[in-house]
A and B are shown apart, each in its own frame.
Chain A
């Protein structure tokens, strides 16, 4: 492999020798070595392939996805108006049609994919780092089972996400286009002459099935545990571990991990038990 010495050799070589036929192969050799040297030092490559870099990506995308959860949760909150879903549908229509939101949606999916891919890469590498398992382990008392099970919790959330997208996102964005949901089955509503997808009615139908409600609630429990570790952990990965700030971050993380999934879980429960009618 190339190293820093090659760089010095190369510069002295260039200084002392005019490039001609006889030393051309040597020149090429030095040049290639230099390119390899420069490439091997590229910080962006390092940034995405080193262990700390990968963790940074997972942490950063994780926080980005947390921002999305806030937006999603706020929009869910629109059902509290009890106006038969008019406010809710208005904002659902805005999210589905506004081009800025649509562009951000692409960013969201990219962030999600990066989070999943890098998370799985880390998981696979970490498994490889201990080929022979301990026959007996008793984790120390400061260890939390959910910190050790982020991969499992994440997979559960991913399975839920596929079900969730099938229930609401595909009919809302594509309707009958992909043949996933027929157009006739897609409920519509008209407000001030504007025909919109009646996501509220869709929701009332979907959440009548008991197993769907159970899956949603279980997924939100997984999300709560995932966030319980992920929120505060991402700050450690960014290098923030401070006597005064870390307890605040941990407190915020715990509160967020309980409140947001709880609000999400209340949605199917409230509809199933008809609290808003």
Chain B
């Protein structure tokens, strides 16, 4: 791929904390390499801002290799930017042309309050996971391989669901701000396996109850989540969670 340098205009959301009102600020960046990642471009900009004694742009990042799910930017109207199945740290500047204006916003959701600039508080996701509770497995020595046979299909489906990195792009991309893809992935990965069986019903009931409490919107099957998910988690998981929830809601004896 041909290497080139570019000059860009950035419109970035600046917000001091969750209490104050935010605003867009415009920055000019020059000589950005097409080989850089989107976050490296921000690093370059922040270095300059710090040297100029200005407030750098706060953004979340950790692994920078597309697996931690920390980076959360809504770039040019798309969660994690224009590339499919990609996190914003793995979005490279060759996705843009020189002279382009790029609009960068944080995830916008009532359940994800802005901490600062592009950093949002995703504790709501942690509380949903906590509401799901533990799974009952015996401690002690690790069991021998294949003592508990699991069909290939189930193992695969569970694995695909477990590939969710909890970045929140589904909430950000959803026109309703719904967290159904995230919660359904977390419900599915355990519902499909024998290890998840004992708490299968209470888990889905509690997690959905917590999801509703956090103020996420309701799924209307638009499927923007699936398209924007960096790991390509399927909306078939949402159908599975609907199934799990409806059957658990009507049959769970613990909650009668």
Residues of A near any B CB (own CB < 8 A): 41, 43, 46-47, 50-56, 122, 125-126, 128-144, 147-148, 150, 229, 233, 236-241
How many residues does chain B have at the interface if contact means C-beta atoms less than 8 Å apart?
52
Q: How far is the CA of A120 from the CA of B192 in the complex (A)?
A: 34
Most chain-A CB neighbours within 10 Å: which of B173, B177, B221?
B221
Across the interface, which residues of B come within 8 angstroms of A239, CB to CB?
239-244, 246
Across the interface, which residues of A come within 8 angstroms of B177, CB to CB?
126, 129-130
Across the interface, which residues of A come within 8 angstroms of B105, CB to CB?
134-136
Q: B78 is contacted by which of A128, A138, A233 (Cβ under 8 Å)?
A: A138
Most chain-B CB neighbours within 10 Å: which of A53, A54, A56, A130?
A130
Nearest Cβ on chain A to B57's Cβ, whole angstroms? 16
Listed by A's residue number, 11 A-B pairs whose Cβ atoms lie within 8 Å are A41-B255, A50-B209, A122-B218, A129-B111, A129-B178, A130-B108, A131-B110, A137-B77, A140-B224, A150-B220, A236-B238
Most chain-A CB neighbours within 10 Å: which of B78, B219, B228, B242?
B242
Q: B221 is contacted by which of A125, A140, A233 (Cβ under 8 Å)?
A: A233
Residues of B near any A CB (own CB < 8 A): 22, 24, 74, 76-78, 103, 105, 108-111, 173, 175-178, 180, 205, 208-209, 211-212, 215-224, 226-228, 235-236, 238-246, 249-250, 252, 255-256
Across the interface, which residues of A come within 8 angstroms of B256, CB to CB?
41, 43
Nearest Cβ on chain A to B78's Cβ, whole angstroms? 6
Nearest residue, chain B, Cβ from A230: B221
Nearest residue, chain A, Cβ from B250: A43
Q: B218 is contacted by which of A51, A131, A132, A141 (Cβ under 8 Å)?
A: A51
Across the interface, which residues of B come within 8 angstroms of A129, CB to CB?
109-111, 176-178, 215-217
